[in-house]
Each structure stands twice: as structure tokens, then as C-alpha cells.
A and B are shown apart, each in its own frame.
Chain A
Amino acid sequence: MASYVLQRLLAAIPTLFGVALITFLLMRAVPGDVVTSLVGLEANVSPERMAELRRLFGLDLPLHVQFAQWLGAVLQGDLGSSLRTGREVAQDLALRFPVTLQLTLMGLLVALLIAVPLGVLAAIRRGSLVDYFASLFAILGLSVPGFFLALLLILLFALALGWLPPAGFVPLRENPLENLRHMVLPSLSLGLILAGAVTRILRSSMLEVLSRDYIRTARAKGLSERVVIFRHALRNALIPVATVIGIQFGSLLGGAVIIEQVFSLPGVGRFALEGINLRDYPVVQGTVLFVATAAVLVNLLVDLLYSLIDPRIRYE
């Protein structure tokens, strides 16, 4: 088990290195840098002053030296400081990640709370009205853009009914109840869409499992239908669901970028967007590497979860 985890972590290194390199090159492949966008705010700055600023930020060094310096620092846990605010990127990430994590986890919870009962019911009552509704729900989940769903929810629950705030954020520690009220619509926007994909996978994997011999055996030995469905079938049907959630985690974070923007949540996604718009290299490099690392770790976690769901799966 431990050696398997180590092996997987080692295998992730070249991938993360590639992600870091692509981000680094992309940020520098295009004209303009943070100095021009900073100076753009104030007119008449002399070229000498701009050259001095570039030297200060280390932007006058050859590319490979800049990359090596940055990577060396990252390996020591130092993601650098924002060129604009001077604050440490790692510190800002630590401040903003809880917001994104809360959004993602609540989104995931919404998705599972809807998708598990719906997927199971659709598979048990195949061809029924419930099944038809589940298919419709799934295809809509795959077809509605997150930002548009968010807008529909704001229109209904914030503007028309006035039940929930249309945007904004209150930290969990400051006021848990207000925090939840502000997070309901964003989580629904993220979760309902994921629920579509999960319902679809769960339905088809339930159908497959229900046709297996061991299910017939379980029924033949007189187990109640409830035990057959939940103990024997659902448990096995959840494996592909876990895989899909692991794969979708990246796009869940991507969706979070847009949802954070719509609801003005101070999360990692908005941090990256702000950094990109201002060409704040360390912010973008740090955020992207952080998100990619998180995606790799979640995939590993999902693989380890398999052995919890199905004890026959062991990792050597």
C-alpha cells in the first residue's frame, strides 16, 4: 500500500513538471509583461525606470534561469510573491483555498444527494417515468452551462423570491449561518450539473451490476430487496462513480472558477483570473501548479477509495 502510494506520487512528478513548464512558457510567450500592465495605469514612466523595475522582478534574466529559480523555490515550498501586491502567493492561496474547497465539497454533496437516489431508482424501475425523468435530468445536466444555471437560480431564489443573497461571501468562522446562505446557490449551480453526469454513470453501472449472478444468488437466498440493492448492488456500482468524480474533479475546479466569478466568491479560481488579467506571473504559476497538484492527489485518493468500497481491490 505505502509503496503503491509512493510509486503513484513519483509518477506524478513528470506530469506536474510539464504543467509547470507549459504555464511558465505560456506566460512569457506573449508580448507585454506585468511591468507594462502596472505602468499602463500611470502615464509617462521613462524606459529607464521600466528597465529598473524589470531588473527588480528578475524579468531581465534568461528564461531558463528564471524557470530554474522559480522551480527551485517551489521545491522549498516558496511560490514567490505577487508582483502587484507583494503578498506571498502561498499565503494568499491558503486564504482562498478554503472557499474553493467549501464550494467544491458542497457541490459534490449536492450532486451525490441527488444522483445516488435518482440513479438507483432509475435502474430499479427501468423504463418507468422515474427512469425517463432521470435520463432527461442527466442530459440537461450535460447541456446547461454552469453560469447560466447560476443565473437562473439567482433570478428565481434571489430576485423573484428574495430567499437567498444573489452574490457575496461571508467567512465560515465569522458567521456560519450567513456563510451557508451565501454558499447555497453557488453549490447548487456546481452540484446540479455534476449530478447529471453522476446519475447517468450510476444508472448504467447499477443496471450492469443488477444483471450479475451474485445478485440472483442474493435474491435466491431470500435477502430482502433493500439489502440486495444497497448492500450488494449499490456498493459495486459505486466504483465507476468514484472514477468519474475523480476525473471530473478537474472540471469541477474549472467550473468553480466561473461560479466564483458569477457569485463574487474570493476563491482560488478568481485569484487565478485576477492574476491572469494583470500578468502577475507568480500568482498564475503558483495557482495553476496548485490546482494541478490537487487534481493529481484527488485521483490518487479516489484509487485508494476503491479498496474501501471493494476490499478485493488491494494495492501492492
Chain B
Amino acid sequence: MNPSTPWTPLLKALLRNRSALIGGLITLTVLLGALLAPLIAPWDPLRFDPPNRLSGPSPEHWLGTDQYGRDLFSRVLFGARFSLSVAAVSVLAGLLVGGSLGLLAGYFRGGFDLVISRLADILIAYPAILLAIAFLAFLGGGFANLVLAISVVFVGPFIRVARAAALMVREEPYVEAAQAMGASHTRIILRTILPNAAAPLIVEATLRFAYAVLAEAALSFLGLGIQPPFPALGSMVSEGRAFLSLSPWGSLVPGFAIVLMVLGFNLLGDGLRDALDPRLRRL
């Protein structure tokens, strides 16, 4: 990789990879839609329109309306915005906490490593969805608590990935060289270990992003997310269930929105893995 333009070869590799390209396009569309939701949404997502309730797609309501006559397209845009913010903050929090604990454990080894590895074992053995549900049932829903519940689940896997990467990198001659030159631990970890351990962490983060969207959707579906009437994709699917035989649009539209989002991240994650680390490439 040419150090002066580290992103060019990566970008080229991503563009050559068909699934990464499709995934990237989907992700970009979803991101734009979510970011620009207040500008794009044709209706107020909370506006009731009883005469138009449970209608299918029409020129007026592109994707139909729900049981209160609220515009589904506008609600899905805002719901996606919420999902993506929860996912982004959860992955970032899991990456920061789990990633740093894992790097430190792998670098220093010894007693600290033992404690951290045990912690990861416990977190991974804990039934993930029950952990998240328990958190939310006690703390109540809302943005911060959703993030807390999902990121706690992520800490374990991030510890494992970061620790494994650090263990591998610390045996390399260039780490020994840095130590011989008298570099401090902080400097070695930040300048030598971290950049070389970055690839698996980035791949893990992208795939975790897909998982975070799924987790937020499942928790909202169970009624543990944010309070109605604010739109969350999972709770929209759940609310629409009562009206399936009258008009399935209320559940189908948010459901397919979730699938599209997660599919985009999964395809992009696979492509990134192939581009960043050919050794991890699937055959």
C-alpha cells in the first residue's frame, strides 16, 4: 500500500468487488435518506390523516399509510435515521471499550489479560438478547439505553478480535525494534500495534453495524425501544401486525427497509474484508 495515498488502493479494490459496490450503493442511499429525512420526507411522520388510513401506495402517499393514516415513507425515513444513529453510537462505544481492552490485554498479557479474557468469555456466554432485554426492561427504553444495551453485547467480541490481533502483531520484529529504540508502551500501542490491528477491527465493526441495526429492530419490535408515536422500524412492523389482513403495508414497508439497510452493511462488510485483508478472503 502506498503510504502517501493509503485510501486509493482500498477504494479501487472495493470498486472492483461487485458485492462491495452494490453494498456501498445501498448504504450510501440509506445514509443519504436518513441524513436528509427532514428535507426529503413528503409528510410530517407524526401527522394523523384518519380518512386515508391503511391505504396502499398512491401518488399522494408513495408507500401507503398506517392505521392512523400516517405516511409510511416519511415514517420509514425517520425510523431509519433513528436506527442508524443507535447502530453508529453502539458500534463506536463497543469498539472503543472492547477494542482498547483487547489491545491492552493482548499487548501486556499476564494477569490483566486473564481478567479481560474471562470478562469477554462471560459477556459472550451471556445470552445476548436476554442481556439487552434485561437492560432495557429495567432502565426503560430511549436512545441512550438502547445504545447501552446493544454496546454491552458488542464489548465481548471486540475484546476477542482486538486481543487476537494484538497477540499476533506484538511478536513481529518491528515491535521489537520499537521497543529496542526505547519507545513508550503508549507510543508502541498507538503507532505500531493499532494500525496493524486495524483491518480486522474495521471489518468486525462493519459487520457489527449490520448486527446493531438488527438488534435495535428486534428490541423495538418487542416494545423495548423508544416510546410511540416516534417511528422506529421494529415497532412499526409490530404495530402493523394487528392489521395484516386489512393492509399489510404497515408491516411490510418498515420490514423491507430493515432488510435493505442490513443487506447493504453486510455486503459492504464482506467487500471490505476482501479488500483490506486478502488472507481473510472467503474462497
Q: In the complex, what residues of B have CB within 8 A of residue A27's CB?
A: 134, 138
Tell me if B118 is interfacial: C-beta within 8 Å of chain A: yes
- Beta-carbon contact of A143 and B266 below 8 Å: yes
The tally of residues in B whose CB lies under 8 Å from a CB in A reads 42
Q: In the complex, what residues of B have CB within 8 A of residue A272's CB?
A: 130, 133
Q: In the complex, what residues of A have CB within 8 A of residue B43's CB?
A: none
> Quick one: CB contact mask for A136-159 with B, threshold 8 Å, 1 for yes?
000110111111100110110001
Tell me if A53 is interfacial: C-beta within 8 Å of chain B: no
- Name 29 interchain pairs, CB-CB below 8 A, sorted by A: A14-B118, A18-B121, A18-B122, A19-B122, A22-B126, A26-B134, A27-B138, A139-B263, A139-B266, A143-B262, A143-B263, A145-B217, A145-B234, A146-B218, A147-B238, A155-B248, A159-B244, A200-B282, A204-B283, A251-B128, A253-B127, A254-B127, A255-B129, A258-B221, A261-B222, A276-B133, A276-B134, A288-B126, A291-B130
Q: In the complex, what residues of A have CB within 8 A of residue B218's CB?
A: 145-147, 258
Could you tell me the distance between the alpha carbons of A264 and B238 in the complex, rounded to whole angstroms?
Answer: 14
Tell me if A310 is interfacial: C-beta within 8 Å of chain B: no
- Beta-carbon contact of B130 and A254 below 8 Å: yes
Could you tell me the distance between the alpha carbons of A296 and B125 in the complex, rounded to whole angstroms?
Answer: 7
Q: From residue 146 to 180 of chain B, which have CB atoms closer than 8 A to chain A? A: none
Q: In the complex, what residues of A have CB within 8 A of residue B125's CB?
A: 15-16, 18-19, 250, 292, 295-296
Given contact pairs A19-B126, A145-B214, a sample of 12 additional A-B residue pairs in the complex whose CB atoms are under 8 Å apart: A18-B125, A27-B134, A30-B139, A140-B263, A144-B259, A147-B237, A204-B282, A250-B128, A254-B127, A255-B129, A258-B218, A276-B137
- A interface residue numbers (CB < 8 A to B): 14-16, 18-19, 22-23, 26-27, 29-30, 139-140, 142-148, 151-152, 154-155, 159, 200, 204, 207-208, 250-251, 253-255, 257-258, 261, 272-273, 276-277, 279, 284, 287-288, 291-292, 295-296
Could you tell me the distance between the alpha carbons of A151 and B221 in the complex, rounded to whole angstroms?
Answer: 12
Q: Closest approach, in angstroms, between the C-beta of A119 and any C-beta of chain B?
A: 12
Tell me if B258 is interfacial: C-beta within 8 Å of chain A: yes
Set B122, B258, B259: member contacting A15, Cβ < 8 A: B122
- Beta-carbon contact of B244 and A151 below 8 Å: yes
Q: Which residue of B lies closest to A292 (CB)?
A: B125
- Beta-carbon contact of B255 and A151 below 8 Å: yes
Tell me if B210 is interfacial: C-beta within 8 Å of chain A: yes
Q: From residue 61 to 79 of chain B, which have CB atoms closer than 8 A to chain A? A: none
Q: Which residue of A lies closest to B238 (CB)?
A: A147
Tell me if B241 is interfacial: C-beta within 8 Å of chain A: yes
Q: Closest approach, in angstroms, between the C-beta of B244 and any C-beta of chain A?
A: 6
